[in-house]
Chain A
Amino acid sequence: MLVTKQPVLRRFWYAILPMQMLDDGPQPFTLLGEKIVLWKKADGSPAALRDRCCHRTAMLSKGFVDGDHIVCGYHGWTYDCRGSCVRIPQQAADAAIPPGAKVPAYHCVEKYGYAWVALEDPLRPIPDFPEEASGRHRRILQFYQRWQTSPVRMMENSFDNAHFSYVHKANFGLFDQPQPAGYRFEETDYGFEAETLVPIRNPPESHRITGTTEPVTHRHLVNRYYLPFARRFGCRYPASGIDHVIYNCATPIDDGSMMLAQWLYRSDSEADCPTQALIDWDEAITKEDREILEATDPDACIDTRRRTEFHMASDKPGLIIRRQLMALLQAHGETEVHG
């Protein structure tokens, strides 16, 4: 599937960048092949427009912020968050702005420390992260990384119990136990929930992460897939009761790359396990996934009737993802567009 060729994907919210990046001024981003610019208004809320001035096409991300508005760095044409040109500094203050002088504007809100954008009217709200307001969890913005792969590859990897023994064999994977644990599945309006209990290696360097010293311990996972490209890795270590809940948005940049946004919610304290130790721990795992995912074909086949890939029983989550994406395309009159 070539994500830039499937218009329905424009109707979802995607995490674009951490809000604090906007403290440095307007920032460019490419979402589903579309070049956009984000900035922070006077009240701290974000806004997003097409990254091209309607005068001489300059990128507005090369400009600057003035109050609520973004100012083009070429001639100073100034836009509000709806994309309307509100000032042309070369004209007298009482002269009319040319009718129709505007650039396309996008839905843009702040949530969970990120600016989120939907290019067109969203079909669903931003996924709910209940840990954000639980009062028991701390939030860590773990990763913001550009990967040379596609969101489908990242999503299916997230629900794939069969790759641990290979990709993560140097880490928590049990190389001598390749047969994966099964999932309990429940399809939902947003995607699905998948619950499982997975045995993992627990070497001394992970004792603070798991909160236990037993050599092999378990993860109780209540994972969720949110159409099209977000997921929850809802991990609790039953031996310690510690929550290690990760959310990802695999934001589609273009047909060969994505931005990985990753949040971690932990139910322990900084004294129990410092933020940096948690980042380092998950970074090693994430790097292992990244290396193998960047070696796959980003144009992942979602219409399984094309038979370009072989499957096995543990691929069920990835196959449900494909089926739900296909149903989404079909409900909006689309078929899979591929290379």
Chain B
Amino acid sequence: MLVTRQPVLRRFWYPVMPLSRLAAGPQPFTLLGEKIVLWQRADGRPAAVRDRCCHRSAALSKGFVEGDHIVCGYHGWTYDGSGACVRIPQQAATAANPPGACVPAYRCEGKYGYAWVALDEPLAPILDIPEDGAPGYRRLAQFDERWACGALRLMENSFDAAHFAFVHRGTFGQFGKNKPEFFELRETPYGFEAETRLVIDNPPRAHRITGTTEPTTRRHFRNQWHLPFLRRLGLHYPNGLQHLIVTSATPVDDGHIQLMQWVYRNDTEADCPAEEIHRWDHEVVMEDKAILESTDPDAPVTLARRAEENMASDRPGLLMRQRLLALLQAHGETEIHRGSAAQPQEITPCS
């Protein structure tokens, strides 16, 4: 599936960058192949419009912020959060702006420390995370990285119990225990829940992560997949410790994702310092990155194409494909892939 060719994917919220980055001025991002610019308004709320001035096509991300507005660095044409050109400084204050002078604007919200963007009318709200702000929980921003891989590849990897023994044999995976315990899947409107209990290796550098010094421990996974490209991993340990990971494989283009990940823990910095948590999770995530960047980002979602072989433990990934295909079909689309792709269509609406 070529994500930039499936318009329905524009109708979801994606986190694109930490809000803190906007303090340094306007920032460019590419979402589903569309070049956008984000900035922070006077009240701190983020805004997003197309990253091209409607005058001489300069990237607005080269400009600067003035109050609630973004100012083009070329001639100072100034836009509000709805994309309307509100000032042309070369004109007299009383002169009218050219009718229709605007750039396309996108829905943009700040939530969980990130700026979220939906290019078109969203089909579902940003996921609710009850632990965010709940007593006893802390939120830690973890990763904001560009990966050369497809979003579906990271999603299916997250629910694939069969890769631990191979990809993660250097961290928690039990090499030699090649027969995975299956996830129990429950479909939901947003995607599915997946639950399983696994024995995992617990090397000394993971002791404060798991809260135990036993050489192995049990991890109870209570995971969620949210259409199209967001996962929530609920890792519960027998001692009551929770390690909740939220990851978005934000689709940049047909070959790249921005991996956005943050984590909730119900312990304290004294119990396990954030840096140690990041080091551990990064080690695990880098094991995934190494193998995922070697896969074809154009992952098939139409099983009838028989483009890949499957095994029993691939069920979560197959369910994702079914749900994605159903989503496409519900919106009058079929899967576009390298073999079927026609000429790229340009999507530049101006509201």
Interface residues of A (CB under 8 A from B): 153, 156, 160, 162-163, 165-167, 178-180, 291-292, 295-297, 300, 309-315, 318
Contact = CB atoms under 8 A, between A and B. Distances in A.
B57 A162 contact: no
A291 to B, nearest CB: 7
Contacts of A311: 55, 98
27 contacts: A153-B56, A162-B75, A163-B74, A165-B76, A166-B73, A166-B74, A166-B75, A166-B76, A167-B74, A179-B90, A292-B62, A295-B59, A295-B61, A296-B57, A296-B58, A296-B59, A296-B74, A300-B57, A309-B54, A309-B56, A310-B54, A310-B85, A311-B55, A311-B98, A312-B88, A313-B90, A314-B90
Contacts of A167: 73-74
B111 interface: no
Q: In which size bucket is the chain B interface?
A: 20 to 34
B76 A291 contact: no
B52 interface: yes
Contacts of A314: 90
A310 B56 CA distance: 8
Given A166-B73, A291-B62, A309 B55 contact: yes
Nearest to B59: A295
Contacts of A309: 54-57
A315 B57 CA distance: 14
Contacts, number: 66
Interface in B53-74: 54-59, 61-62, 71-74
A310 B97 CA distance: 10
Contacts of B58: 292, 295-296
User: Quick one: which of A153, A309, A312, A314 has the most chain B CB within 10 A?
Assistant: A312
Contacts of B73: 166-167, 292, 295
Given A178-B90, A296-B74, A310-B85, 20 more contacts: A153-B56, A156-B56, A163-B75, A165-B76, A166-B73, A167-B73, A179-B89, A292-B58, A292-B73, A295-B59, A296-B56, A297-B52, A297-B57, A300-B57, A309-B56, A310-B55, A310-B101, A312-B55, A312-B75, A318-B56
A282 B90 CA distance: 25
Nearest to B91: A312
The 5 closest A-B pairs by CB, nearest first: A178-B89, A295-B59, A297-B57, A296-B57, A162-B90
Interface of B: 52, 54-59, 61-62, 71-76, 85, 88-92, 98, 100-101
Given A300-B57, A310-B55, A311-B55, A292 B74 contact: yes
Contacts of A313: 90-91
A310 B75 CA distance: 12
B249 to A, nearest CB: 28
Nearest to A161: B90
Contacts of A163: 74-75
B98 A310 contact: yes
A139 to B, nearest CB: 31
A269 B256 CA distance: 56
Nearest to A291: B62
Contacts of A295: 58-59, 61-62, 73
B20 to A, nearest CB: 24
B64 to A, nearest CB: 9
Contacts of A165: 76, 89
Contacts of B62: 291-292, 295
A312 B55 CA distance: 8
A165 B72 CA distance: 12
A180 B90 contact: yes
Contact of A166 (B72, B91, B92, B101): B72
A179 B98 contact: no
B74 A312 contact: no
B11 to A, nearest CB: 26
Best-surrounded residue of A166, A179, A311, A313 (most CB of chain B within 10 A):
A166
Nearest to A164: B75
A318 B57 CA distance: 14
A297 B348 CA distance: 15
